[in-house]
């Protein structure tokens, strides 16, 4: 007999990735990197769009090619450098703000040390 487990349906990619990562620190790290890259790409696109510039026009302002701007606006691009972001921001009359945040501590279940549990067993065995 199969048991049907009902789960809330979501199309939110972040929630889907978080649920897939589970407790894996490596998958969580990769998911966070992907989230940051996608956010930076969207910020660049939004700022360029708000300024009413095409990718080619922005590229000309910062002395690069349209393909570079296209890559910067690609959510999968992992090469955003601070120097390039500063050039883009300057060309758009914007500033960059970077913040550091504390990482929430993950509480781990306590486990007994091998030596402690053995001593405890020996103590009880002697009674």
Give the per-residue SS3 of 70-127.
HHHCCCCCCCCCHHHHHHHHHHCCCCCCCCCCCCCCCCCCCCCCHHHHHHHHHHHHCC
Domain assignment present for residue 73? The answer is yes
User: Is the full-model pTM beyond 0.85?
Assistant: no
Average pLDDT of every residue of the chain:
79
Structure tokens at 96: 């960059």
| Residue whose tokens read 């890259």 | 37
Structure tokens at 45: 């696109």
Domain assignment present for residue 6? The answer is no
Dihedral of alpha carbons 73, 79, 84, 85, sign: positive
Domain assignment present for residue 68? The answer is yes
Number of domains in the chain: 1
pLDDT band (50, 70, 90) for residue 33: confident
Domain assignment present for residue 119? The answer is no
> Does an H or E element contain 34, and which?
helix 25-50
pLDDT attached to residue 65: 97
* Nearest-angstrom CA–CA distance, 44 and 70: 10
Domain assignment present for residue 108? The answer is no
pLDDT attached to residue 39: 92
Task: Give the pLDDT confidence of 62-95 residue by residue, as tens digits.
Answer: 999 999 999 999 988 888 999 999 999 999 999 9
Domain assignment present for residue 1? The answer is no
Q: Supply the range of the domain harboring residue 86.
A: 13-96
Domain assignment present for residue 76? The answer is yes
Domain with residue 54: its CATH number is 1.10.260.40
Q: How far is CA 14 from CA 3, 40, 41, 119, in A?
A: 27, 15, 16, 47
Domain assignment present for residue 69? The answer is yes
């Amino acid at each position: 007999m199969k048991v049907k487990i009902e789960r809330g349906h979501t199309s939110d990619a972040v929630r889907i990735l978080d649920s897939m990562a589970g407790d894996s620190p490596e998958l969580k790290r990769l998911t966070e990197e992907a989230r940051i890259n996608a956010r930076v790409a969207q910020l660049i696109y939004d700022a360029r769009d708000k300024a009413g510039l095409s990718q080619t026009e922005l590229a000309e302002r910062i002395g690069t090619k349209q393909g570079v701007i296209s890559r910067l606006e690609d959510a999968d691009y992992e090469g955003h450098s601070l120097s390039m972001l500063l050039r883009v921001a300057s060309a758009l009359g914007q500033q960059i703000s970077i913040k550091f945040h504390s990482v929430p501590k993950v509480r781990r279940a306590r486990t007994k040390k091998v030596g402690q549990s053995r001593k405890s067993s020996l103590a009880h065995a002697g009674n």
